[in-house]
Structure formats: C-alpha cells, structure tokens
Amino acid sequence: MKDTEYTFAVATVRANENRLISWQDLTAIVAARGYEECVRRLREKGYEIEGADYNAALEKKRMEAWELIESLLPERAQFNSVLIKNDFYNLKICEKALFANRSAEGLFITPSV
C-alpha cells in the first residue's frame, strides 16, 4: 500500500468514526426509559430501525463497516487474519448443529475467509 493510499484509508476510517456509537451514546441508550426512547437514540446515530426489527438495522450497520474496510484494502487477502476468528466461530456452529441434529442456518457470521 502506497503512503497516499494509507493516508486516505486512515482519513476515511477517522471520518467514519463519528458515526459509531460512543461510550456516552451507549450509556444513554442503556439508560433510556423505554423501548421508544432507545430506538429514537439509535435512529439519531443513523440506524434505520423499522418496527421491532432492530437486529436488521444492527446487521446492516455491521456489514456497512466491513464493506468500508474492504473498499480501502488493495487486496482482501491482507485482512484474512482478522476474519479467521469468524471462520473459527462458523466451524464451531457447524459442529454444534451437526451434533444437535439441527440446522445452522442464520447462525453464521459474515464476512469470512
């Protein structure tokens, strides 16, 4: 990675840090008086929550973060060492599902190697 590409990547990540939930935000969300106030605070941070499906909003934000990181890498293989943790988790899910004779659908973490 050239110096200019590295500088651009760092600046992009720093600019996007402002959209992350800070410790103060998390404290305010936990201290919310009810579900509606909690959802309102999350919406203020850019989470698109519709109805009671907050998991979809959290998953969308998680995938946006991974896509941002992948877009800044010249080669995705450079990030594989970080993704191995997800692969290990997915392997454990497969083994547990096989042992319990249940489906593992919907339990895997993405992205993975």
Domain extents in the chain: 3-74, 77-113
Q: Is the pLDDT of residue 90 over 80?
A: yes
For residue 3, what pLDDT band results from cuts at 50, 70 and 90?
A: low
Residue 54: predicted pLDDT: 75
What is the average pLDDT value for the chain, to the nearest integer?
A: 85
How distant is the alpha carbon of residue 59 from its chain centre? 6
Whether the pTM exceeds 0.95: the reply is no
For residue 72, what pLDDT band results from cuts at 50, 70 and 90?
A: confident
